Amino acid sequence: MKSDSLAVKQRYDRIAPYFDGLQAIMEGFFYRRWRKKLWAKVEGTHILEVGVGTGKNFDYYPVDAQITAIDFSPAMLKQAELKKTRKAVTVALNLMDVHSLCYADNTFDVVIATFVFCSVALPQKGLKELSRVCRPGGQILLLEQVLSSSSLLATLMNLINPIIRAVMGANINRNTIKLVKSCGFSYVHIDADSGHFFKMIEARK
């Protein structure tokens, strides 16, 4: 797992300066709308964002919230720092691996991640960390690329996954819903409007 995680980190370090450009079309057509919808669901002011990347969620942060955001790629975090300054966003950015968060149990009202668990080397371990640092009754909010339930699309996604992983560092063929459901949350809801390729997931500790 260590080498898997290292490979993922190195990939994101490499693409960090171009990441926003590479994602621009998907961002404009799909992701932006879903980010807005996800952040509108936030209940609580003490928030942790994991896998913050270049800071694409900054535009949707609630103004009155106390937000901490982590990522394990120094180059992605550097892009987030630049965006934080440019957009005058109030957020504490920390270099950290989601497999072992340095926060105490039950710290945050909300833990949020967008398009992160498609690249985390041990997703179930990471999800359990999200649960650990979330307070009882608190929210885990996720936007995740997942393997389509259509067998034709799933076959295609499995075929092109190695290329996507090599270029973007992410897997498009994970069954993240099953993983979330296996993590012992008291409630898991999948937004019915999220399509074949990505899902909006709300879980409660």
Chain residues that interact with ligand SAM, rule: CB under 6 A? 5, 8, 12, 51-53, 56, 71-73, 76, 97-99, 114-116, 119-120, 170
Q: Distance (Å, rounded) from C-alpha 2 to C-alpha 109?
A: 30
Question: Vertex 26, ends 73 and 72: CA angle to 5°?
Answer: 10
The DSSP code sequence of 192-204 is TTS-SSEEEEEEE
Residue 12 Cβ, how far from ligand SAM at the closest point, in Å?
Answer: 4
Residue 76 Cβ, how far from ligand SAM at the closest point, in Å?
Answer: 4
Taking the least distance from each CB to ligand SAM, the nearer of 56 and 205 is: 56
Taking the least distance from each CB to ligand SAM, the nearer of 109 and 129 is: 129
Cβ-closest residue to ligand SAM? Answer: 53
Structure tokens that stand for 144 in this block: 């995740």
| Contact yes or no for 65/39 (Cβ under 8 A) | no
Taking the least distance from each CB to ligand SAM, the nearer of 51 and 138 is: 51
Residue 151 Cβ, how far from ligand SAM at the closest point, in Å?
Answer: 26
Residue 56 Cβ, how far from ligand SAM at the closest point, in Å?
Answer: 4
Q: Distance (Å, rounded) from C-alpha 89 to C-alpha 63?
A: 9
Taking the least distance from each CB to ligand SAM, the nearer of 24 and 137 is: 24
Taking the least distance from each CB to ligand SAM, the nearer of 48 and 203 is: 48
Q: Which residues sit opposite 203 in a β-bridge?
A: 140, 188
Residue 34 Cβ, how far from ligand SAM at the closest point, in Å?
Answer: 10
Contacts of 25 (CB under 8 A, 6+ apart): none
- Picking from 90, 96, 20, 100, the residue whose alpha carbon sits closest to that of residue 51 is 96
